[in-house]
Structure 1
């Protein structure tokens, strides 16, 4: 988990644990891949190596849809997966969130980072708080980190 307030020069800070994972997954490059999550009101972040998994992911999702007798649009799913933006970050993890992604993810002055594995999510805290059952741990973590950021006057890094 991590939390960042929008700082000077309109930059957010990628938390250290996420920074290391992304850099490692991007062959040492400081490149953060960002996209709108396909179901939730948030963004996804990941390293460049995840791109190599997209074709297999589409095949798996199509197979699961066919097994359930549900229509699957490969082109739409490919557009969703490959439609990410590459955003550079500096050694301290500072990055500028492209305006259109901020709008898609409803992220304005605060960002909560959650998750792990092949990707993580970036939330507007208000959008996260509106999620239903099953999100209690993320919501509690977000509240705690937001309070810490507010009281310290700086983003948690």
Structure 2
């Protein structure tokens, strides 16, 4: 049987709601359930981009293999690789519980790292999903056009729905 991909697919958007909570979009909640994980969203600052990355606890089982691959690639390119620093980046996440409806409270220090305001755009990818401040995503350059368009569309719909309440 073919191995299931470990990544996350799709996009989503959440405005900060009552009780200061965001909502993990349904497609991502399904990804977590498919991986057999409890309702825990692991969050950390992305190493290269001005956003947060999220993943399920089950991904931690692959961290040593990731480190091995990244170290081998750096050696092939004759570049330095700080395995300890990279390991701290991978393992430096916080565990954030979410309820059956996907609601979660973003810890303030993590929100600060991601420059999160009143909205989050979720972008699937492999092996992490990314969580963006829409304004920061809009500042990204070439190659980000699809994510930027998706974010604008989802944000417009979420804000229109919010005004209807």
> TM class, shorter-chain normalised?
over 0.9
Aligned equivalents of 1:14, 1:84: Cα separation in 2: 17
Q: Residue by residue, what CA displacement relative to the aligned partner does 1:43-98 show, whole Å, maximum 9, x if unpaired?
A: 11111110001001011101111111111000000000001011100010000001
8 Å CA contact 1:23, 1:31 repeated in 2: no
8 Å CA contact 2:37, 2:57 repeated in 1: no
2:13 alignment counterpart = 3
TM-score normalised by structure 1 residue count: 0.94
The 5-angstrom pairing of residues 48-59 of structure 1 reads 48-59=57-68
8 Å CA contact 1:23, 1:47 repeated in 2: no
8 Å CA contact 1:32, 1:46 repeated in 2: yes
The count of corresponding residues between Structure 1 and Structure 2 is 153
Does 2:48 align with 1:39?
yes
The Cα shift of 1:28 comes to 4.0
Aligned equivalents of 1:116, 1:29: Cα separation in 2: 20
| Runs of 4+ deviating beyond 6 Å | none
The 5-angstrom pairing of residues 79-90 of structure 1 reads 79-90=88-99
Query: Which consecutive residues of structure 2, in runs of 5 or more, have no partner in the other structure?
Result: 1-10
Query: Which consecutive residues of structure 1, in runs of 5 or more, have no partner in the other structure?
Result: none
RMSD of aligned alpha carbons: 1.0
TM-score normalised by structure 2 residue count: 0.90
Pairing partner for 2:27 from 17, 29, 48: 17
